[in-house]
Every structure is written in structure tokens, then in C-alpha cells.
Amino acid sequence: MRRTFTTMLLVPTLTVLALGGTACGSDDESSETEVGALSKSEFAEQANDLCAKAATNRESIVSQIDATAPGPEQAEQLAEIIDIDQKQLADVDQLVPPESEQDTVTQLLDQWRKRISLEEQLRTATANDDATEVSALETEIQQVDTDANQIADGLGLDDCTRGEGV
């Protein structure tokens, strides 16, 4: 179980760090209909910055994980990752996307909420050394990441994707 748990933490924290690439192009809204709304490229740039910072913080925690540590200790490290994910969600949620992208951004934030909920369940299963539940939750998290990554890619949020094959 330790190896699987460590792999689960490492794999989702891999983030594509192509900074700046999403800020280029002509995908800006030509007219804003909502006061304070960002253009599509401004939203992508700011969200990518927030996600890159969160990824760096997650990687710092993952690098300290001891695969031989008992479940409760690993659960505490997972709690730190959950805190980072919650902050990332809140920070990106504070950004005002263009009105044309609002529904898509809401879908992405909903996927991130699902991930956090699953991470909390994973933390409990890890603390209880429940290998079967850990495995099932890892599979669910991978599916949520796949769904979230597709949405993030469509928004130009390359730094907000997680997992392998992204």
C-alpha cells in the first residue's frame, strides 16, 4: 500500500509548466459584457500562475514523503496537499472569467471540488491503512483528473492539469 499511495501522490502532482504560452494568441473577447471580467487570455494567465504556485507547493510536500511511514503520518502529508488544493480552488474561483467561459470554468471548479472530496476520503482510508479503499479512491481521483484536465485544456489552463499523459 505504501508504494501505491506514494505513486498516487506523485503522479497527480506532475504539472505541465509551460508558463506564458497560454497568454499569447487572439482569443481575447473583443467586448466585455461583465464589468471586471478578464479576457480569456488574462484569465488563463492568472489561473495558470495560481496553479503553478500550487503545483510547486505540492511537489515540495511530495518530495518529503517517506514511503515507509505509517498510514497516519502519510495521511497528515495528504492533509497538507488537500489544503493546497483548497487554496488553489478558492484562488481560481475568485477570478472573473469572460462571461462566455463562465459555465466551463464552473465545470472545472466542480471537478476540483470532487477531487478534494475524494482526497479527504483518501486521507481517512490512508490513516486507517485500508489498502482496498485507497486503491478504489486512487482510481476515482484519476478519472476526476482526466475529466478536469479536458476542461482545463479547453480553457488554456495548461498549468492546472494533473496526472500522467497530460
Rounded distance between C-alpha atoms, residue 24 and residue 77, angstroms: 37
The reported pLDDT for the residue numbered 34 is 61
**Whether 4 contacts 67, CB under 8 Å:** no
- The set of cell numbers assigned to 139 is 482510481
The reported pLDDT for the residue numbered 72 is 87
The reported pLDDT for the residue numbered 118 is 97
Task: Give me the tens of pLDDT residue by residue for the chain, a chain 166 residues long.
Answer: 444 444 444 444 333 322 333 333 444 444 444 678 999 999 999 999 999 999 999 999 988 887 777 788 889 999 999 999 999 999 999 999 999 999 999 999 999 999 999 999 999 999 999 999 999 999 999 999 999 999 999 999 999 999 743 2
Neighbours of 101 (CB within 10 A): 21
- The set of cell numbers assigned to 41 is 487570455
pTM of the model: 0.77
Q: What is the DSSP string of 67-122?
A: TTS-HHHHHHHHHHHHHHHHHHHHHHHHS---GGGHHHHHHHHHHHHHHHHHHHHH
